[in-house]
């Protein structure tokens, strides 16, 4: 489980630094939202912290992808 969490956080941090401003903002917003939702869902099974970490990582990746698509649509290529 620790390896999965570490992999998600590493992927999110690398991808958020390599792209434009919309992708970075999307990664932050997605990470915060994912951590909140993951924490709530994880608390139902007694693992709120793990749920928050996994939700934050997945939310950051999703937010980054959406922000990157918006950057490309606006004509920003990094």
Torsion angle of the four alpha carbons 61, 65, 70, 75, in this order, in degrees rounded to the nearest 10: 120
The tally of domains found in the chain comes to 1
Would the pLDDT of 14 be above 70?
no
Would the pLDDT of 4 be above 80?
no
Please tell me the distance from the alpha carbon of residue 76 to that of residue 39, in angstroms, as a whole number.
34
Q: What is the mean pLDDT of residues 37-58?
A: 91
Give me the domain span that covers residue 47: 2-74
């Amino acid at each position: 489980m620790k390896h999965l969490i570490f992999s998600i956080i590493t992927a999110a941090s690398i991808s958020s630094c390599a792209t434009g401003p919309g992708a970075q903002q999307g990664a932050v917003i997605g990470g915060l939202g994912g951590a909140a939702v993951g924490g709530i869902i994880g608390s139902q099974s007694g693992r709120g912290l793990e749920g928050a970490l996994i939700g934050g990582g997945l939310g950051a990746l999703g937010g980054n992808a959406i922000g990157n698509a918006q950057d490309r649509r606006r004509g920003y290529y990094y």
